[in-house]
Amino acid sequence: MTRLALLRRSFPTPGLIFRWIGKSRRRIWCQVMVLVAIVAGPPLWWATQLVRLPDVGDPFDVAAFRACTIPDGRNAFVLYRQAATLIKPNAGFLKTSTTRVDMLARWPKAVPELRQWADENREALAVYRQGTERPDAFEMTIGFDRESFKTFQALSLFRPMILLEASRLEDQGDMAGAWGWYRALLRNVHHVGMHGTVFRRSHIQRWHRQFRERMTTWASDPSTTPALLRRALDDVVSCEALAPSELDSLKAGYLDASWLLDSPTNPGHEVPMMRFRRFWNPDYQLNSEQIQAIWDWWRFWRREPERSRRVIRLVTANWLAYHELPPGNRPKPDPKVA
């Protein structure tokens, strides 16, 4: 017998395999089940991925929350937006300076250009301070809004000007005048966080820290009288009326996260793409469109963004239910969970 004939006998042909399967009904059914599993398994697995993750729907009345407004005469953001249009930029002297400019320097140590910049913006500062006296502050910002972003940037620029002006008055011995500006900054911090997301509230904590640092120096100065200290304490306590609502912050955060899931800047698109490029072989580099197509297919296979949307709804519903309970009836946090 030739070597070729031996090879043919060693490796069965498709015809031999089918004849061997056809001799037994059990073998036939086994093969049918395998084919059914191969064809129907992936769609069935895809369809059942979210079975144990219920869709509870929106955890609150989204339309009513979006429709919430306050009168312009009470809204500090009306004047904050006006002040933002009046502010003169400081980029000129920052770019031409050969050394790093300390934007939070006190008046005696501030560079002349910084003093001049603050002096040029006195009109904007006056409108800003009027806004801090208003009893409420509301600006519906879901997702990225260019005008709201500009206003927030302007409020960040007002902060060093206020600290500089307050330190100038302190240097002249006018401690009451200095407290007036510190009070304006404190009220602005509360205004920004009143109806904003938890992320915004955490961002402005840096502003509050700078306020506390300046207050330590201001309060320990011999020129600050006990009567002025009591007045400042009363002002700080009254600012607690501007404390943000936990429920409002959670609702705003929910809408912000929902917008992000459907936006082109969804972290589920961008973050994995950056990581994917980091480990990709440069000799076989795919272009951005090809990588995006691969990742979009994988997200579809994992039922995204529907999976994330359901998780966010469940988490928000639980948080809202927790904060709607009286403080004494709220369950204690699990000590095993950070």
C-alpha 321/C-alpha 318 separation (Å) is 5
Each residue's pLDDT, cut to its tens digit, for the chain (338 residues) gives 555 554 455 556 666 666 666 667 777 777 777 777 777 777 777 778 888 889 999 999 988 888 888 899 999 999 999 999 998 877 555 555 556 778 888 888 888 888 888 899 999 999 999 999 999 988 766 655 677 778 888 888 899 999 999 999 999 999 999 999 999 999 999 998 888 787 788 878 888 888 899 999 999 999 999 999 999 999 999 988 887 788 888 898 898 888 888 777 676 665 555 555 555 555 666 677 777 777 788 888 888 888 989 999 999 999 999 999 998 898 888 888 77
Q: Return the structure tokens found at 124.
A: 């904007």
Coil, helix or strand for 69? Answer: coil
Model pTM score: 0.74
d(CA 114, CA 124): 16
φ, ψ of residue 112 to 5 degrees: the values are -55, -35
CB contact at 8 A, 303 and 50: yes
